[in-house]
Amino acid sequence: MINRERTFITFQVGLALAALLVGTLLGPFQALEHSKIDLYPLLKPLISNYYQGLTIHGVLNALVFTTLFIMGFHTFCTINGLNRRLKWFGLAATGLGFMVLGFILAGTTMFLNQATVLYTFYPPMKATPWFYIGLTSLIVGSWMIGWSQLATLAEWKKENPGVKTPLITMGCMVNTILWQLATLGIGIQMLVLVIPWALNLTPATDALLNRVLFWFTGHPLVYFWLLPAYVSWYSLLPRQVEGKLFSDPLARLSFWGFLIFSTPVGFHHQFADPGVPVVWKYIHALLTFLVVIPSFMTAFTVIASLERAGRKKGGTGLFGWISRLNWKNPSVSAQLLSGLIFFFGGIGGIINASGSLNLVIHNTTWVPGHFHLTVATATTLTFMGITFWLVPHLSRKNLKLPKIALASTWTWFIGMIFFSLGMHWLGLLGAPRRVPFSTASYDHPSWHLPQALTGIGGAILLVAATLYFISIFATILSKEKAAAPIEIPIAEAEIEPSHTPAWLDYWKPWIILAIILVIIGYGPILIQMFGNINAVSPGFKVW
């Protein structure tokens, strides 16, 4: 890889890990708080209350870490899959500049307690305009990096007619397109509604319309977080367990499925909202169920690839193959454990998506319990697994303290089981989310046991995060260069790309289909809501 690109990717991954470091270390404080061990006095004067910390945790983890890491991973997969340099590099570098600016603005305003509005920032709660400008800058920067990657792909396609796009590039670029489409919601929200209002150019805003635009982006965001993990499970993991990808065409079909089904479904986050017609809630619930199809296809293909690898290495019986899967490699262990956790996350997700069950758990601790299985584990632990080879690859050093790295994956897994068990259970008992229980005006004896489980989980997760960063820092800081270049583990496919039908590599029809579905799913209701805009809310600073 050329040095220019290597530096570019190193910046994105490095900044992402810095955001994860700060964001994640706040998690155990929150979890321990949930078991009524209040350690926040230790954080004064840096963090003055639970909600300020929670805002930082949500924004740095879910928005900054994920987006920066994914941009770096996409860049990596584009240039290494296509084996060429990044086109429009100046644009991509400018994009990174915008993202860094966004990181700094959002970070500073949150630490100064000027933006304690949580990562969902529902207006009419009002932060300093710099916070919104920061988040917008982060997103705009990611668009630019995406355009540069798409231009690279377009040029490659022109030069290689009839050749299938390599799968790692294809999966990442589908995700880039998904991101461009999905962030239209939050983009319009920020530029048309929030920033003018935060700058006092408009006197009042429409709280409901803000929520609709936020969740337009908010749901596909979940798939934006997941698809890079799927790219790794499909195209890299099989190689790391000395096997092959089971089927190239099915992998591609599932990526297209995610693109078309993931955006027009945001109302399932708003089942409990007044003002959204019930019909629309049901249309989106229906479309949400369709995302199950590519998800189950992914489960099949990934498990089949792993099973064949395990059997080839002598695993027998129904489950014997599992033990043959290079569990000693921390990158493999991270990804296998994420996959296992994701299985439970998926089941919970189906419950969230069905309107009537949703009413039982909406905005209870069940919800963070759920997404710590998905984004905070399936995605994050897989990304950690990727860094176990990517950081060595970028720094040209071997992974240091691999046993500690391995231990971090298992402690993360075990900690998350306790944590999410506690949070799901607590939610079923009716405990609301985003509440510091040690100072709440209410309590319930039945909550105490799940609260304790949550706290235990948080303590184990603190150990996991610490072990992870020890191994990563040891690698970065070590002086020894690796003897040989560190391999990028790209798997071959059993059913090869040459057997893949050509229509699975036609991009335009799928993109058009995705756009049409978004127009059907959101067009009429957005036109109606903008037409009858109910801008009656001035801003409130409530912290």
Give the residue numbers marked as catalytic. 219, 223, 370-372, 433-434
Which of 8, 15, 16, 27 is the binder for ligand HEM (CB under 6 A)? 27
Binding-site size, another protein (CB under 8 A): 71
Residues 112-171 that bind ligand HEM (CB under 6 A): 118-119
Q: Should residue 437 be labelled a site residue for another protein when binding is judged by CB under 8 A?
A: yes
Shortest Cβ distance from residue 20 to ligand HEM (Å)?
7
Q: Which of 187, 163, 24, 1 is nearest to 78 (CA)?
A: 1
Residues 31-90 that bind ligand HEM (CB under 6 A): 31, 34, 54, 57-58, 61-62, 65-66
Sign of dihedral through CA atoms 473, 477, 483, 487? positive
Q: Should residue 332 be labelled a site residue for ligand HEM when binding is judged by CB under 6 A?
A: no
Q: Should residue 376 be labelled a site residue for ligand HEM when binding is judged by CB under 6 A?
A: yes
Residue 286 to residue 515: CA distance in whole angstroms? 18
Q: Should residue 524 be labelled a site residue for another protein when binding is judged by CB under 8 A?
A: no
Shortest Cβ distance from residue 256 to another protein (Å)?
13
Q: Should residue 380 be labelled a site residue for ligand HEM when binding is judged by CB under 6 A?
A: yes
User: Pseudo-torsion of CA 151, 155, 156, 162, nearest 10°?
Assistant: 120
Q: Should residue 30 be labelled a site residue for ligand HEM when binding is judged by CB under 6 A?
A: yes
Nearer to ligand HEM, 61 or 137 (CB): 61
Q: Which stretch binds another protein (CB under 8 A): 215-223, 276-284, 414-422, 510-518?
A: 276-284
Half-sphere exposure of 121 (CA within 13 A, CB side): 29
Three-class secondary structure of residue 494 per DSSP: strand
Q: Which does 468 bind (CB under 5 to 8 A by kind): ligand HEM, another protein, none?
A: none
Q: Should residue 537 be labelled a site residue for another protein when binding is judged by CB under 8 A?
A: yes
> Taking CA 433 as the corner, what is the angle to CA 430 and CA 438, rounded to the nearest 5 degrees?
90
Asked if 147 and 184 count as a contact pair (C-beta separation under 8 A), the reply is no
Per-residue CA distances from 299 to 96, 230, 285, 491 (Å): 34, 10, 22, 17
Instruction: Show Cβ contacts of residue 407 under 8 Å, excluding neighbours closer than 6 positions.
Output: 467
Q: Should residue 375 be labelled a site residue for ligand HEM when binding is judged by CB under 6 A?
A: yes
Joined tokens for residue 282: 């049901």
Which of 111, 433, 476, 526 is the binder for another protein (CB under 8 A)? 433
- Residue 432 pairs with which residues in a beta bridge? 364
Shortest Cβ distance from residue 313 to another protein (Å)?
21
Neighbour count for residue 42 (Cβ, 10 Å): 9
Nearer to ligand HEM, 80 or 116 (CB): 116
Residues 71-130 that bind another protein (CB under 8 A): 116, 118, 120, 122, 124-125
CA 496 to chain centre: 29
Written as one string, the DSSP assignment of 268-279 is GG-TT-TTS-HH
Q: Binding mask 194-223 vs another protein (x if CB under 8 A, - otherwise)?
A: ------------xxx--x------------
Nearer to another protein, 359 or 519 (CB): 359
Residues 338-367 that bind ligand HEM (CB under 6 A): 365
Residues 395-434 that bind ligand HEM (CB under 6 A): 419, 433-434
Residue 249 to residue 243: CA distance in whole angstroms? 17
Q: Which does 34 bind (CB under 5 to 8 A by kind): ligand HEM, another protein, none?
A: ligand HEM
Nearer to another protein, 69 or 223 (CB): 223
Q: Which of 349, 309, 284, 261 is nearest to 525 (CA)?
A: 284
Instruction: Show Cβ contacts of residue 237 under 8 Å, excluding neighbours closer than 6 positions.
Output: 302, 305, 306, 332, 335, 336, 489, 491
Query: In the bound complex, which residue of the shown chain has the CB atom lying closest to ligand HEM?
Result: 27
Q: Should residue 434 be labelled a site residue for another protein when binding is judged by CB under 8 A?
A: yes
φ, ψ of residue 2 in degrees (nearest 5): -75, 150
Is residue 139 within a helix (H) or strand (E), and if so which, with residue range? helix 129-159
Neighbour count for residue 528 (Cβ, 10 Å): 11
Which of 11, 143, 147, 300 is the binder for another protein (CB under 8 A)? 300
Residue 50 to residue 543: CA distance in whole angstroms? 11
Residue 148 to residue 146: CA distance in whole angstroms? 5
Nearer to another protein, 246 or 418 (CB): 246
Integer Rg of the chain from CA: 23
Q: Which does 437 bind (CB under 5 to 8 A by kind): another protein, ligand HEM, none?
A: another protein
Q: Does a cis peptide bond (omega within 30 degrees of 0) precede residue 196?
A: no
- Residue 495 pairs with which residues in a beta bridge? 247
Which of 53, 266, 458, 497 is the binder for ligand HEM (CB under 6 A)? 458
Q: Which does 61 bind (CB under 5 to 8 A by kind): another protein, ligand HEM, none?
A: ligand HEM
Shortest Cβ distance from residue 61 to ligand HEM (Å)?
3
Q: Does a cis peptide bond (omega within 30 degrees of 0) precede residue 45?
A: yes
Residues 470-499 that bind another protein (CB under 8 A): 495, 499
Q: Binding mask 441-460 vs another protein (x if CB under 8 A, - otherwise)?
A: xx-x----------------
Q: Should residue 320 be labelled a site residue for another protein when binding is judged by CB under 8 A?
A: no
Interaction site with ligand HEM (CB under 6 A): 24, 27-28, 30-31, 34, 54, 57-58, 61-62, 65-66, 118-119, 365, 368, 372, 375-376, 380, 419, 433-434, 458, 461, 465
